[in-house]
Amino acid sequence: MYCAPVMAPVAAPLLGVAPAEVGYFVTAAYLGSMIGTATAGGWVERFGPIRVSQVGMLLCGCGLAIAASGALFAVLVGALLIGLGYGPATPASSVILARAAPPGMLALTFSIKQTGVPLGTAIAGAAVPILVLGLGWQGAALVIGAVCASFGLVIAPLRKQYDAGRDRAAPASLRSALAPVLLVLREPKIMQLAATSFVYGGVQITLVAYLVAFLTESFALSLVLAGMVMAVSQLSSVAGRVLWGIVADHLLTRRSTLGLLGVGMGMTALCALGASASWPLWGLFAFAVALGVTAVGWNGVFLAELTRLAPQGRIGDVTGGSSFFTFLGVVVTPPLFHFALGVTSSYGATYALFGIPPLCVGVALLLTARIEPDERRS
């Protein structure tokens, strides 16, 4: 999912578009994710979380192979397939973790699992530039796709353990896809979380997706150095996700923690308003670290709270339905960022502008936070 933003400065000119157009790749990918996550609940229940994860990884591999053909239309089709494969991952893993999480460590367990996302992004930031320099962007896409598809095969033996409780009669059709979304809409507390994820998810993916282009175009960093800054940002978010999981389990409520994260990502993005070519390299790394810890640090706490609020036996549906709104934010936000960038002609000003929504949501969460008696025991 994150290799395209790193490849964009090299791949985009060869495709006849500007690097900033990477936002449309992100939109296509997360449009596929919306479809994949909405239908995931039934598929996970019927075929098991491991089988669904396998199919998802194979779809990601196929999507990268198609995108590597080098035709602009094929790149967008590939993005859609990658999204279809990526979407079911969270509902599938949530079903497993809800059973496996130790008592009183729900947020930490989900946060540790969610470190896989920034770790993957860090690998993309560090490895993709090297692959691109050695193999070209198309060769790099093929290598990453092959690795991804291979892991889909490697996890096959885990089916016996994790797919044993599947319901072979569970509905798994496109017709039943709206059920998880309707479930979220009927539950006010879950809908509030879904709305929060709409804002946070959109801002997270947008700020990360444009980070390499921001660094190369505004600060004249090389692709390799910009990729390393992105990698450091994501590695810091790994520690951040674990830290926020501990905070949410033992110090604050999950709602308050989510509020602090919104304020943090908003304030970090606003700092970009002062961005200039005179910024030292350490300043760029500091900005990227703050971005990683805040904008990429909220997911585990969010998923843990969703799991707590989900009706009995509906964790996959609630996670899938809420992720639909997360991905909707991701679909909507990058094109808006691209439009705003065209108006302002400044990455710094556009970053700052898109820091305002999460800042407002974070303040609202903090002002309305209430300690629920059963929250930390769940």
Percent of the chain with pLDDT strictly greater than 90: 15
Is the pLDDT reported for residue 262 higher than 50?
yes
pTM for this predicted structure: 0.70
Please list the helix, strand and coil fractions of the chain in percent, rounded to the nearest 5, in that order. Answer: 80, 0, 20
Answer yes or no: is pLDDT of 118 > 80: no
Highest mean pLDDT among 39-53, 65-79, 159-173, 211-225: 65-79
| Residues 196, 365 contacting (CB under 8 angstroms) | yes
For the segment 77-96, the average pLDDT, to the nearest whole number, is 87
Residues 193-218 have pLDDT tens digits of: 889 999 998 888 888 778 888 888 88
143-170, pLDDT tens digit by residue?
999 998 999 899 999 888 888 877 776 6
Using 50, 70 and 90 to split pLDDT, how confident is the model at 359? very high
| Structure confidence by residue, pLDDT tens digits, 272-314 | 887 777 788 888 888 889 988 888 888 888 888 888 887 776 7
Q: What is the DSSP letter of 17?
A: S
Instruction: Report residue 72 CA to chain centroid gap.
Output: 24
8 Å CB contact between 280 and 219: no
Stretch 34-55: mean pLDDT: 82
Q: Which of 134-138, 140-144, 317-321, 360-364 has the lowest mean pLDDT?
A: 317-321
More confident residue, 188 or 65: 65
Q: Structural domain of residue 232, as residue ranges?
A: 3-161+176-368
Q: What pLDDT does residue 245 have?
A: 85
pLDDT at 376: 47
The one-character DSSP state at 43 is H
Q: Is 378 contained in some domain?
A: no
Q: Is residue 218 part of a domain?
A: yes
Rg (CA), the chain: 20
Residue 166 included in any domain: no
pLDDT of residue 63: 92
Would residue 376 count as lying in a domain?
A: no
In a domain, 48, yes or no: yes
Nearest to 251 by CA among 49, 104, 92: 104
Nearest one of 40, 156, 153 to 94, comparing CA atoms = 40
Q: For residue 1, give the 3-state DSSP assignment.
A: coil
Structure tokens at 144: 């990453």
Does residue 246 fall inside a structural domain?
yes
Q: How many domains does the chain have?
A: 1
Write the Ramachandran bin of 78: left for phi over 0, alpha for psi from -120 to 50, otherwise beta.
alpha
Reported as a pLDDT band with limits 50, 70 and 90, residue 378 is very low
- Average pLDDT of the chain is 83
Q: Is residue 167 part of a domain?
A: no
Residue 171 in domain = no
Burial class, 373, CB count within 10 angstroms (exposed 0-12 / middle 13-18 / buried 19+): exposed
CATH of the domain at 226: 1.20.1250.20
